[in-house]
Amino acid sequence: MLDLNRPEWLPTRRHLLSQAAVLPLAALPLQNALAQFRVEVSGAGVTQIPISGVAFRDNGLANQDMIAIVRADLERSGQFRFVEPLPVRLDETSRPELAAWREKGTDALLTGSVSKLADGRFDIRFRLWDSVRGQDLGGLSYPVNAGDLRYAAHRIADYVYEKLTGEKGVFATRIAYVTKSGPRYTLLVADSDGENAKATLSSPEPIISPSWAPGGGQLAYVSFESRKPVIYSHDVATGKRRLLANFRGSNSAPSWSPDGRQVVATLSISGNAQVYVMDANGGQPRRLTQSGSIDTEPVFSADGRSIFFVSDRGGSPQIYRMGAGGENPQRLTFNGNYNISPAPSPDGRWLAFISRVGGAFRLHVMELSSGNVTALSDASADESPSFAPNSRLIVYATRDRGQEALMTSTVDGRVKTRLTGAQGDIREPEWGPFVR
């Protein structure tokens, strides 16, 4: 049998008991103290689109470097390579000499400007050019407050990404994660690059397993503030929270159904940990697994027809898939004797998970149609993988340079991005959905 509190089961989801109250966001002196992240990209993709961009005209009016944020976003995707720009000044109204940029080796060019509006907001304008075909690919204007400048840059990166790849970008989405600094745990919501983090909850007790509801309006999570694991749902916009599960025994590992109407979780009402489903608005849970083993970490498939979960019913923790009603559980992982933390991709093609290899916990991905498994990491303490909503990137936690840190990886593992905080340990990442 598995002990959920043993470190080898969930390496960084351990809890330490101490005495203090949970503080709401309004009481937290954390906003300015939170460490910013830096992006470090390594590796190279098979094919990358060469793109260039010049500094936005009058960017000095803003406190953010717009082109630098766009560049970091695109490089992190693994599908773009930035070409250093020609020494010219351009903005969205300019007609660039595209032949010169084509000779420079860039397929696309981004230009733009920053201006201050009478009401104090900033007007961010941009235009994208196809330097190979000599075409104007359009542009937009984003009037934003100073606090939303990074968000505007992420939206520009999404525009560029979609125009040049035909797929929707994920840079304006959000991630949730947990930090531990000293004795305190904090649940944060940040931009997809880890920047602009805002504290949602702080506690001396562990906070684990954040899970985004469809549409990105709510976060479910597990708190130990009652000296036992209890599941809450948190409204991201208002900061209000409500109790989802506080049944007898342990309540853990929540995950939403694709339509947001149900939540699956691991409950120990029956004595041992089993998978249950309950209405997202409350009500009595319904048991889905009927084993004498530990069944945990349930998560719906993108189409809502299946549930992935972890069980030791075969003698060691492995990943299984069953119907959404609990029917016909089938084992999926057979390589190694320890596979946990299933994370299906939104397009239904992939399953990310953590496998123990020679004592090291490493990120792997399985192609569900073939069952082929690929190791994406050679680290020793990876955990909590989560797919971006376009299924192209995976965010996960790892241990690097003596600290827990966040990392993103392309699905092929060729391009990895380290998001490193200067304070505390960083864990439990969950990539949010496209905002409806």
Alpha-carbon 45 to chain mean position = 21
Rounded mean pLDDT of 225-248?
93
Q: Which two tokens mark 84?
A: 């250093």
**Could you tell me which residue, 425 or 212, shows the higher pLDDT?**
212
Q: Is the pLDDT of residue 87 over 90?
A: yes
User: Of the candidates 219, 206, 233, which has an alpha carbon nearest to the alpha carbon of residue 174?
Assistant: 219
What is the overall mean pLDDT for the chain?
89
Q: Does residue 34 carry a pLDDT above 60? A: no
- Band of residue 13 on the pLDDT scale cut at 50, 70, 90: very low
Q: What is the pLDDT of residues 153-210, one digit of tens each?
A: 999 999 999 999 999 999 999 999 999 888 999 999 999 998 889 999 999 999 999 9
Q: 333: phi > 0 → left, psi -120 to 50 → alpha, else beta; which?
A: beta
Q: Does the pLDDT at position 19 exceed 90? A: no
pLDDT at 253 over 70: yes
Residue 279 pairs with which residues in a beta bridge? 262
Which of the pair, 42 or 38, is modelled with greater confidence? 42
Angle at 151 between CA 150 and CA 153, to 5 degrees: 65
Average pLDDT over residues 228-251: 94
Provide mean pLDDT across the span 368-386.
Answer: 96
Mind listing the pLDDT tens digit for each residue in 282-319? 889 999 999 999 999 999 999 999 999 999 999 999 99
Strands 122-130 and 207-212: unpaired
- Structure-block tokens of residue 289: 């697994």
Task: Round to whole Å and give the CA distance between 387 and 264.
Answer: 18
- Give CA separation, 142 vs 52, 92, 202, in Å: 21, 13, 33
In angstroms, the CA 334 to CA 339 distance is 9
